[in-house]
Structure 1
Amino acid sequence: MNDETTPLPPATTDAQPTPAALPTALTTRRRRGLQAVAAGALAATGIATGVVIGAHTGSASAAVAAPSAGTEPVVTFGRGPGGYGGYATPPGYGGSSSTATAAGTATADQVVGVVDIVTELGYSGGEAAGTGMVLTADGEVLTNNHVVEGATGITVTVLSTGEQFTATVVGTAPTADVAVLQLSDASGLDTVQLDSDGVELGEAVTAVGNAGGDPTSTSAAPGTVTALDRSITASSESGTDPEQLTGLIETNADVQAGDSGGPLFDADGEVVGMDTAASSGGAVQSYAIPIDTAMDLVGQVRDGVDDATVHQGLPAFLGVSVADGTGGATIAGVVADGPADQAGIGAGDVVTAVGGTPVGSADDLTTALAAQDPGDEVGVTWTDAAGTSQTAAVTLVAGPAD
């Protein structure tokens, strides 16, 4: 039997509204081109999108047992108070136990090359906070995809100097929970030091990050490597749409919400992984993406790869929330002044084709839009409330980070 763990919610820097029940397409995870957002009268959206610390969960946690040898933990996450990818911290999260070593404040050496990341969630009126690592002196930053997902604006603070920069999304690998950012007009930044030897079972490590979203204190959680090459199964709160992260480093470092995207250091102060997920309750189990795995994806982003796994820039955006309907994708809501709104598509209409490709469901619409880029003009066919079929050329815009 699989053990169950629950990923931590993100740290938030401001109060956020409670979302209503979401249409089917809003719970689709890690699909580039997902056109589900909230604005105006639409409910604040929360999209379950990965095995994460720092985002995408909001339900109360339950105590879990440490996984037995050979088992795969099931990391279940859901939607909670918050916005598009950003959630408040509910009671019960924290992944602590009586055997965990309490996290302390990071040293000056441990924050070199580490940044705080605050994202503006413009379609839900909230903010979320996470962590990242500076890879180049001109401001290339590595973080988790879930830290920036849904972001319409990103502000990054360099912890060692206090400098602040705006950031753009260069590329993402959503299914691996990796994102690459670029800081605007940055130069001369100190970078993290990456390990090239990997880690061993029992090795001492320290997880550093923006635990709790506290801008005045960066935490350092000591621990040891308890397992290697771990796989965890991520699913929505209902247990649907399962997805795996593989090859992870498992530790007993007591990572917290907001640590997502932060470095997992070895005893020499070199980065061996990127903090990504943790258990809640019971024995501490935290998970990090090996830095070699993350940097392989960074290399693909740098090389301009744009495929089913690696995405360049921001996704194309139609500006609707959708649900499965009869004979197409039913529009549940429309972003004011977005591409769909400007084309005359309204709530209750049913999209039946995009670019001449038939659309029979919300997933079909997501898939069709995933093949487009911001700025593309595409024909959208829909059936309105009166049963009349209409077609319009719609110019897609850049959406929130995916």
Structure 2
Amino acid sequence: MTDGWGFRRPDDDDGTAAQHTPPAVAPPASFWWSDALNDPWRDPHSPVALVPPAERAHAPEPEPLAEPDHTRRRTLWTVAGAAVLAGVLAGVLGGAMGVRFSDDRLAARSILGSTAAPPHRAPESLAAVASLLLPSVVTVRVPVDGSVSLGSGFVASADGHIITNDHVVSGSSGVVSVIFDDGTSSPAKVIGSDPESDVAVLQVKRAELHPAMLGDSDAVAVGDAVVAIGSPLALRGTVTAGIVSALDRPIATEADNGATRYYAAIQTDAAVNHGNSGGPLVDAAGQVVGINAVIKSMAGSEESAGNIGLAFAIPINHARRVAEEIISAGRAHRTVIGAEVEESFRGPAGGVRLGQVTATGPAAEAGMRTGDVVTSFAGRPLSEPTDLIALVRKAAPGAVVEVTYKRGSTSHDAAVTLVADAD
């Protein structure tokens, strides 16, 4: 049954089948109920009574409309409910498994964020260098006239030898003691000191010492990274960092006994203050290359002086030689060239003029005379008397040094073999 036109084949009188053409009229319009199941305004639960118009009574009746399948609707709702329930159960199960396998992670988290793994520090990092040296560094406590003076030092041998500055222990009026990085302390014996080089040696009786590694100060270059460790202003275990600013900086300071200290220092911009004296200056490999000794300041007095990035350390090669002589012989010998210098001389082209030249001394044996002007020592130009003295003190007795000097307008080169003083 369709909504279009139809045709039939009637029986003829003579029994011959004749084909009839459908009338050439337009097909009647479809009724609105012909697609009732897809009607969006239809209420499937309301009774339906369809009565064709009188003028279309002869039209074929439409196909009966089936009532909605209530069983199918209930099945769809059941499937949908089961799907929702399955989703809820899956979410609960997944959450439980997530909590189960992340217990350790949740335990490590804090309220304000997660806890990162400990950082891995390279052996040459500043933190690694500090960790290596801190057990070797000590605070030196020296009783002086009813009060206590503080300085720094470091363990240099398994026998308990500690190197510090002479000016740290000079003037002691009682028992010197040292405080280690772990806070424990031990009494220390002053083995000996050398005021002119500003080096002193102490010794403690203690198990499980951590001697520092001593480097080669002759291998230090300007720009090398360095670390200063000590007790500035009584702040034990302070670590500061900087670079080597200059080498062979001539230093001359007055000792308590009236002598003058001379050394060719390592200059650094690492922060050094009162109390750092005697502590180590360490390179990036964790090796001691110097002993912090002097600072320059714009302050009007030594007591109010503070760090301005100009600190000076005794090269460890110089300090080790002096310390070994103190340990083995009780005193150290100065290195000399066998001539005095004229403090007042200032030549237009620099240089240091020699005063009295010892007849059998190193300078005389190399052909030098009184009045000669030394312009360079070991390849380093000279401009002040302090320059020559500091460089001579730095060298070890027996060292052969190339010297350039002038006699009048003539320049000469000589190889001078330095010696220890006779005193």
Q: TM-score, normalised by structure 2?
A: 0.44
Larger radius of gyration: 2
Q: Return the structure number with greater helix share.
A: 2
* TM-score of the two chains, using structure 1 as the length reference: 0.46
